[in-house]
Amino acid sequence: MHHDPLRSTRKRPVFSFGHSWVVLSLQVSFPFAPRKTWALPVLVRLYRKRNSPKLAPGRNGRPEKKQTGQAAEKQYRTHPQLALEMIQVVARWPGPRKLRVLGDSEYAGGSISRQLPANAVVISRMTMKAALFELPPIPGVGRGRRRKKGQRLPSPEQMAQDPARSWIKTTVRIYGRKVKVWYQSIDALWYSSAGPQLLRVVVVRDPSGHRRDDCFFSTDLTLKPPQILETFALRWPLEVCFRDVKQFLGFEDPQNRVSKATQRTAPLVFYIYDLVLLWHATSGHLCAPQSAIERLWYKRKASVSFEDILRNLRQATWQEKIFGDPRLDAQSRKILQPLIEWAKAAA
């Protein structure tokens, strides 16, 4: 989303939306940074709006139908539907594995929760006003339709506001640091979203009062509440991935005018991001100390960033191109070596 200076006025700002990508990534920790998690995008889908028959002002103010790459009725997919397609693809990969799907509140609805593959579970955020229910009672003898849900339970918001309920105090490691939290937990049905599937619901409170009360859920009942909070926090590396591909790999730069070019360029940038990380994990980390730059204002840096990895790749490429020629004599190598150091600082 960006500010449109041509259509905006001082009193009425207008915002325009760019492409909306749904990305499925694998969260991986590498030996060169064991306490840091990276997101490796593996599947990418472009969200397209539903084709609208409405006319918009065109040339000379005449109404005309805009061609903006909107999807036809049969081609239209919502964000959760696109995500479900990718989840089903990954779930079919060979090998016995359990797939944990992490997503924000947009991917917590029935489009995903009710249609998950058998080997997949979802952990997401729940609205504080969610209607929770007990399991349906055991059906007795008699006629009539069986109940699908039991008695109504307090919503997460009511649970947080009830002074009679006690909070459990604990410390979890999320977003790279240890945080003190209070929580309440309950197993319940969120029938409007997950249907008859039992969920583990966790209501969280920040004891410092800096953040509002929040609620999360998991379809995996083997996870304890602190594990649910720590696992949900692992989706943050994907946001870091978005930032890195925009800032360092030119994700926002292409000005494609053809549909196929748009759908090819963006996934290629994500896969280049994957290749850079995998190169650093396999061999690049061995030469990382040579490309490191000491920052006088950043003496306590304990982990590596994508910018550091990209600088290391550039230096390794230049080193191979310049000094890989066996005909280069020792004097020329000595003269060219400062060039590598200057290029490292410029990168």
Provide the number of structural domains found in the chain.
2
Q: Please tell me which residue, 149 or 296, carries the higher pLDDT value.
A: 149
Which stretch of 28-37, 145-154, 312-321 has the lowest confidence by average pLDDT?
A: 312-321
Over residues 46-54, mean pLDDT: 78
Closest CA to 316 of 346, 345, 340, 298: 340
What's the CA angle centered on 72, arms 71 and 75, to 5 degrees?
A: 75
Q: With beta carbons less than 8 A apart as the criterion, state whether 90 and 43 touch.
A: yes
Over residues 236-243, mean pLDDT: 94
Same domain, residue pair 207 and 337: no
Closest CA to 245 of 212, 278, 267, 223: 267
Closest CA to 342 of 307, 324, 303, 315: 315
Same domain, residue pair 196 and 333: no
> Of 200, 235, 270, which residue is a domain's last?
235
Q: With beta carbons less than 8 A apart as the criterion, state whether 133 and 199 touch.
A: no
pLDDT higher than 60, residue 65:
no
Sign of the CA dihedral running 343, 344, 345, 347: positive
Mean pLDDT is highest, among 15-19, 42-46, 173-177, for 42-46
- Block residue for tokens 């410390």: 171
Q: How would you class 84 by CB atoms within 10 Å of its CB: exposed for 0-12, middle for 13-18, buried for 19 or more?
A: buried
In a domain, 270, yes or no: no
Q: How confident is the model at residue 56 (pLDDT cuts 50, 70, 90)?
A: low
Domain that holds residue 167: 2-49+75-136+149-235
Q: With beta carbons less than 8 A apart as the criterion, state whether 271 and 51 touch.
A: no
Alpha helices (H) along 180-224: 191-194
Give the mean pLDDT of the chain. Answer: 87
Same domain, residue pair 221 and 323: no
Residues 81-123 pLDDT 10s: 999 999 999 999 988 888 999 999 999 988 898 999 999 999 9
Over residues 296-323, mean pLDDT: 82
In a domain, 240, yes or no: no
Two structure tokens written together for 284: 């690049």
Same domain, residue pair 39 and 120: yes
Q: How far is residue 292's CA from residue 307's CA, in Å, rounded to a whole number? A: 11
In a domain, 253, yes or no: no
Decide: helix, strand or coil at residue 313.
Answer: helix
DSSP-assigned beta bridge partners for residue 47 = 20
Q: With beta carbons less than 8 A apart as the criterion, state whether 284 and 55 touch.
A: no
Residues 224-236 pLDDT 10s: 999 999 999 999 9
The conformation of residue 59, written as its DSSP 8-state character, comes to G
What's the CA angle centered on 45, arms 40 and 50, to 5 degrees?
A: 155
Q: How far is residue 107's CA from residue 84's CA, in Å, rounded to a whole number? A: 9
The conformation of residue 146, written as its DSSP 8-state character, comes to P
First vs last Cα of the chain: how many Å apart?
A: 29
In a domain, 58, yes or no: no
Decide: helix, strand or coil at residue 171.
Answer: strand
Q: How far is residue 124's CA from residue 218's CA, in Å, rounded to a whole number? A: 7
Same domain, residue pair 225 and 88: yes
Torsion (CA) 198, 178, 303, 286 in degrees, nearest 10? -60
Two structure tokens written together for 5: 């200076």
Q: With beta carbons less than 8 A apart as the criterion, state whether 314 and 342 touch.
A: no
Same domain, residue pair 220 and 112: yes
Q: How far is residue 340's CA from residue 319's CA, in Å, rounded to a whole number? A: 7
Same domain, residue pair 190 and 334: no
Same domain, residue pair 316 and 210: no
> Of 203, 235, 267, which residue is a domain's last?
235
Q: How far is residue 228's CA from residue 200's CA, in Å, rounded to a whole number? A: 9
Q: With beta carbons less than 8 A apart as the criterion, state whether 91 and 119 touch.
A: yes
Q: Give 36's contacts (C-beta < 8 A, 6+ positions apart).
A: 29, 30, 176, 303, 304
Residues 252-273 pLDDT 10s: 888 777 888 888 998 999 999 9
